[in-house]
Amino acid sequence: MTGKGKRERGKVLLEVRDLHASAEGREILRGVDLTVRAGEVHAIMGPNGSGKSTLAQVLAGHPAYAVTAGQVLYEGNDLLAMAPEARARAGVFLAFQYPVAIRGITNAYFLRAAVNAIRKHRGEVELGPVEFMDALEEKLKVIGWDSSYLTRPVNEGFSGGEKKRNEILQLAVLDPKLAILDETDSGLDIDALKTVAQTVDKLRRPDNATVLVTHYYRILTHIEPDVVHVLAGGRIVKSGGKELALELEEKGYDWLREEAVVA
Partner 1 sequence: MSSGIEAQVLQPYKYGFVTDIESETVPPGLSEDVIRLISQKKGEPAWMLEWRLKAYRNWLKMPEPHWANVQYGPIDYQAISYYAAPKQRPKLDSLEQVDPKLLETFEKLGIPIEERKRLAGVAVDAVFDSVSVATTFREELKKHGVIFCAISEAIREYPALVQQYLGSVVPYNDNFFAALNSAVFTDGSFVYVPKGVRCPMELSTYFRINAESTGQFERTLIVADEGSYVSYLEGCSAPVRDENQLHAAVVELVALDRATIKYSTIQNWYPGDEAGRGGIYNFVTKRGACRGRSSKISWTQVETGSAITWKYPGCILQGDDSIGEFYSVAVTNHRQQADTGTKMIHMGKNTRSTIVSKGISAGRGQNTYRGLVKILKGAEQARNYSQCDSMLIGDQCGAHTFPYIDVRNSTATMEHEASTSKIGEDQIFYAKQRGLSAEDAVSMIVNGFCKEVFKELPMEFAVEAQRLLGISLEGSVG
Near partner 1 by CB under 8 A: residue from 4, 11, 121, 205: 121
User: Alpha-carbon distance 172 to 135, whole Å?
Assistant: 11
Residue of 37, 40, 43, 96 that binds partner 1 (CB under 8 A):
96
Q: How many residues bind partner 1 (CB under 8 A)?
A: 30
Do 167 and 81 touch, CB atoms closer than 8 A?
A: no
Could you say which of 12, 69, 73, 105 contacts partner 1 (CB under 8 A)? 105
- Residue placing its CB nearer to partner 1 in the complex, 94 or 219: 94
Site for partner 1 in 151-210 (CB under 8 A): 153, 170, 174
In this structure, are residues 184 and 164 in contact, taking their beta carbons and an 8 Å threshold?
Answer: yes
Pair 124, 172: CB distance under 8 Å: no
Q: Note whether 129 binds partner 1 by CB under 8 A.
A: no
Contact 14, 183 (CB under 8 A): no
210 has which bridge partners? Answer: 41, 179
Q: Does 63 bind partner 1 (CB under 8 A)?
A: yes
Segment interacting with partner 1 (CB under 8 A) among 32-40, 46-54, 105-113, 206-214: 105-113
Nearest to 42 by CA among 30, 32, 31: 32
Indicate which single residue of 21, 38, 45, 88 sits in contact with partner 1 (rule: CB under 8 A).
Answer: 88
Smaller CB distance to partner 1: residue 11 or 121?
121
Give yes or no for residue 127 binding partner 1 (CB under 8 A).
no
Write the Ramachandran bin of 12: left for phi over 0, alpha for psi from -120 to 50, otherwise beta: beta
Which residue in 52, 24, 10, 38 sits closest to 230, CA to CA? 52
Out of 12, 117, 127, 142, the residue judged to bind partner 1 by CB under 8 A: 117
Pairing of strands 102-106, 153-154: antiparallel
CB of 89 to partner 1, least distance (A): 5
Which residues are 22's β-sheet partners?
A: 27, 66
- To the nearest whole angstrom, how small is the minimum distance from the Cβ of residue 260 to partner 1? 30
Instruction: Name the site residues for partner 1 (rule: CB under 8 A).
Output: 60-64, 66, 83-85, 87-89, 93-94, 96, 99-100, 102-105, 110, 113-114, 117-118, 121, 153, 170, 174
